[in-house]
Amino acid sequence: MKKILVLAGTEDGRELAGFLLSRGFDVTASVVSSYGRELLERYDGLKINARALDEKELAAYIDEHSIEAVVDASHPYAANVSLNAMKVCREKKLPCIRYERGDHELTYEKIYHANNYETAADMASKLGRIIFLTTGSRSLRIFVERLSDCTVIARVLPTAAVLTECERLGLTPKNIVAMLGPFNRELNVEMFRQFRAEVIVTKNSGSIGGLDEKIEAAAQLNLPVVMIDRPKISYDNVTNSFDGVMKFLHIG
């Protein structure tokens, strides 16, 4: 039974870990939070690592647990995770495949593309004064610092750690929407209206991340959307299907 490490930083990454487990692989899923661990605990027999692994720690973990292949289903914006996985697997001559949902193409004339968080913040400040962030908490500091002369509304996960970070950055309850998504179009419309949003900031998270509904809501209200494009990485092996991962693992 091949031992697989799945870097499961997304909803479909978690589903992929469960899928591989059901196909007879010995699967360890790696996440970076206790919340991620909780979401994975529904899969009986799945091993879970809930500690962030840098390059050296990943190499040590692979050796310690006799991992035979790595499936990188980390978040598409966690570029360092993917680069570290490829580097470690090359050095250890282990199979490594990237699973990634396809880029989402949307047509709306008020989408403004940015290639990083800093550019997105600067762009948003030129488009309006009330900025509604749907980018999560990890990049929140960048936006708060660069949008100090704007009103920032942050939609984040309702966890103690995230809310503590919001408070540390100076956000008050009136600037925080602590809810678990995804959100349908109607709810997005009501939130954007309630907070009088003038600009929406999002990532290209695909349909599974609720991107369609955000764009539809913004279009209904005629609001500009700043979309942060995914990092461009040249993967050694990549697929956008679970079957593609299966085929690779049987060859690798």
144 and 224 both lie in a single domain: yes
Identity at 17, one-letter amino acid code:
A
123 and 221 both lie in a single domain: yes
Identity at 208, one-letter amino acid code:
I
Q: How many C-beta atoms lie closer than 10 Å to residue 186's C-beta?
A: 12
187 and 148 both lie in a single domain: yes
Please give the torsion angle defined by the CA atoms of residues 213, 218, 222 and 226, in that order, rounded to the nearest 10 degrees: -130
224 and 237 both lie in a single domain: no
Please report, for the domain that includes residue 59, its CATH number. Answer: 3.40.50.720
Per-residue pLDDT at 209 = 67
Q: How many C-beta atoms lie closer than 10 Å to residue 232's C-beta?
A: 7
Higher per-residue confidence, 104 vs 83: 83
- Of the given ranges (99-103, 214-218, 233-237), which has the lowest mean pLDDT? 99-103
Buried b / exposed e over 87-119, threshold 16 CB at 10 Å, is ebbeeeebbbbbbbbeebeeeeeebbebeebeb
Separation CA 200–CA 153 (nearest Å): 10
98 and 135 both lie in a single domain: no
12 and 34 both lie in a single domain: yes
94 and 131 both lie in a single domain: no
Q: What is the pLDDT of residues 66-100, one digit of tens each?
A: 999 999 999 888 889 999 999 999 999 999 999 98
Separation CA 72–CA 36 (nearest Å): 16
201 and 244 both lie in a single domain: no
Separation CA 75–CA 32 (nearest Å): 11
Per-residue pLDDT at 197 = 98
Q: What is the pLDDT of residues 1-58, one digit of tens each?
A: 689 999 997 888 999 999 999 999 999 999 987 778 888 999 999 999 988 899 999 9
Residue 252 in this model has a pLDDT that exceeds 60: no
Instruction: Give the residue numbers spanning the domain of 241.
Output: 3-102+232-251
Whether 24 and 47 have beta carbons less than 8 Å apart is answered as no
Structure confidence at residue 208 as a pLDDT band (50, 70, 90): low
133 and 205 both lie in a single domain: yes
Per-residue pLDDT at 248 = 94
151 and 192 both lie in a single domain: yes
Q: For residue 113, what are its two tokens?
A: 């593309």
Per-residue pLDDT at 102 = 66
Tally of domains in the chain: 2
Separation CA 217–CA 221 (nearest Å): 6
pLDDT > 90 fraction of the chain, expressed in percent and rounded: 77
145 and 53 both lie in a single domain: no
237 and 221 both lie in a single domain: no
